[in-house]
Amino acid sequence: MMPPFPNNGRDRWVVNLEAPLGQWQIFDTFDSGDVCSQERILLGDALEKKYDLHGGDLGAFLSRYSGVSLQHATDEQRLMAQCISTDGPRLKGK
């Protein structure tokens, strides 16, 4: 699941990491948590190469690109994605 990124009306797309999981978007579904985790690693590696993030320096990405464009917000969403079980208590707000 990925956090939402509402447009704040000033052409700035900012990913809302504080949003409750119930507001996060489903990016993909997997047969197991292990498969999901493996896919997150592959996606993270691809985005690290795309943005030349040495060692997964997420802070560098956020300081350089956060809120810049819809594409950057989408990539930030993917970097911040989490594997959540459909019956997990965090998704139900417990």
Domains: count for the chain? 1
Percent of the chain's residues with pLDDT above 90: 21
pLDDT in tens, 4-38: 987 666 666 788 888 998 899 998 999 999 999 99
pLDDT at 52 over 50: yes
Residue 94's pLDDT is what?
A: 43
Return the axis-axis angle of helices 58-65 and 70-79, rounded to nearest 10°. Answer: 160
Note down the domain range covering 81: 1-94
Does residue 67 sit in helix, strand or coil?
strand
Quick one: CA dihedral 58, 1, 28, 13, positive or negative?
negative
Which of 19-28, 49-58, 65-74 ranks highest by mean pLDDT?
A: 19-28
